[in-house]
């Protein structure tokens, strides 16, 4: 007998009382969705800006290697997406469109279509996600309702810059992934 059959038949041999699968109600959160979202991102050590603030930040920073896949900033790129993801190791800045943001925790949903290469938002030194302010939802429940049965090979909720507190519980931003997250609400 294979291990698959072994495991499945072991489970089948156990008398298990039936338990119903509950429906999930649509919990709302009190307060204004955009203000809550901004607060959540800031709490996660990210920053929220508008289009003009972002443009002046971008002009001042003078990053040397930038990939923009955002429809709002098509001319910000000075690099093409490489064929081999390893070439992204010295990327300074990635600018990506997010599909929607979740107010209660600042999580922003991106799929293969937005990423181009899956490693992009992780390997870049700094990450900017551009988000339509009308795309904000209150809770994760509404977030999953929005995703529905979409079938992207990969999808990710990103809520802040890479961080760790593994040394004496001291928060350090920039563990392995992006050292900063800026969210541009348009």
- Which residues, numbered 10-39, are part of the site for another protein (CB under 8 A)? 10-14, 16-22, 24-25, 27, 30
Stretch that binds another protein, among 50-58, 60-68, 72-80, 146-154 (CB under 8 A): 146-154
159 binds another protein (CB under 8 A): yes
Residue 32 or 50: the one with the smaller Cβ distance to another protein is 32
Residue 95 to residues 10, 60, 158, Cα–Cα distance (Å) = 50, 16, 14
Residue 81 or 156: the one with the smaller Cβ distance to another protein is 156
59 binds another protein (CB under 8 A): no
**Residue in 94, 102, 97 with CA at minimum distance from that of residue 147:** 102
Residues that bind another protein (rule: CB under 8 A) add up to a total of 73
User: Is residue 69 within 8 Å of 118, Cβ to Cβ?
Assistant: no
Within 8 A by CB and 6+ apart from 150, the residues are 111
Residue 78 or 144: the one with the smaller Cβ distance to another protein is 144
Report the residue from 33, 38, 40, 99 that binds another protein according to the rule CB under 8 A.
40
User: Is residue 152 within 8 Å of 117, Cβ to Cβ?
Assistant: no
Report the residue from 51, 140, 184, 186 that binds another protein according to the rule CB under 8 A.
140
CA 161 to chain centre: 10
Footprint of another protein on residues 60-89 (CB under 8 A)?
A: 85-86, 89
User: Is residue 177 within 8 Å of 161, Cβ to Cβ?
Assistant: yes
Report the residue from 107, 129, 130, 138 that binds another protein according to the rule CB under 8 A.
107
Minimum separation from the CB atom of position 34 to another protein (A): 16
Q: Largest Cα–Cα distance in the chain?
A: 67
**Coil, strand, or helix at residue 98?**
coil
């Amino acid at each position: 007998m294979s291990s698959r059959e072994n495991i499945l038949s072991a489970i089948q041999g156990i008398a298990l009382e039936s338990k119903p699968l509950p429906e999930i109600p649509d919990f709302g959160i009190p307060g204004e969705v955009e203000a809550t979202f901004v607060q959540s991102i800031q709490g996660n050590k990210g920053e929220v800006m508008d289009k003009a603030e972002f443009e002046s930040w971008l002009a001042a920073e003078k990053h040397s290697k930038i990939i923009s896949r955002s429809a709002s900033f098509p001319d910000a790129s000075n690099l093409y997406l490489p064929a081999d993801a390893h070439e992204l190791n010295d990327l300074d800045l990635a600018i990506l469109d997010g599909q929607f943001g979740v107010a209660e925790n600042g999580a922003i949903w991106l799929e293969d279509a937005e990423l181009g290469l899956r490693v992009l938002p992780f390997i870049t030194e700094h990450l900017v996600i551009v988000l339509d302010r009308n795309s904000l939802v209150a809770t994760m429940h509404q977030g999953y309702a929005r995703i529905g049965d979409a079938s992207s090979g990969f999808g990710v909720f990103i809520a802040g810059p890479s961080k760790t507190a593994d040394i004496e519980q001291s928060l350090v931003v920039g563990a392995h992934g992006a050292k900063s997250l800026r969210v541009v609400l348009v």
